[in-house]
């Protein structure tokens, strides 16, 4: 994962759409969608809600 992947996951976790994420990080919406598909595979999830859940769970464990 790179810094853009982490930013994408963070933005997904706060409920941003692909279009909003693309605007925020300066990528095209198509590139965001492709990156998300790779992240779904890497995290072994099928959707953005599951990705956000896993990410936030891991993030909370680091904070605790």
**Cα(42)–Cα(55) distance, integer angstroms:** 12
Residues of the chain where predicted confidence (pLDDT) is lower than 50: 64
Q: Which CATH class is domain 3-63?
A: mainly alpha
Q: What is the pLDDT of residue 1?
A: 82
34 Cβ contact list (under 8 Å, min separation 6): none
Q: Which of 47, 26, 25, 24 is nearest to 36 (CA)?
A: 47
Segments making up each domain of the chain, as ranges: 3-63
pTM of this prediction exceeds 0.75: yes
């Amino acid at each position: 994962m790179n810094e853009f992947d982490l930013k994408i996951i963070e933005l997904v976790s706060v409920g941003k759409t692909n279009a909003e994420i693309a605007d925020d990080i300066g990528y095209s919406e198509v590139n965001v969608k492709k990156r998300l598909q790779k992240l779904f595979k890497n995290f072994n999830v099928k959707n953005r809600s599951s990705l956000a859940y896993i990410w936030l769970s891991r993030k909370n464990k680091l904070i605790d």
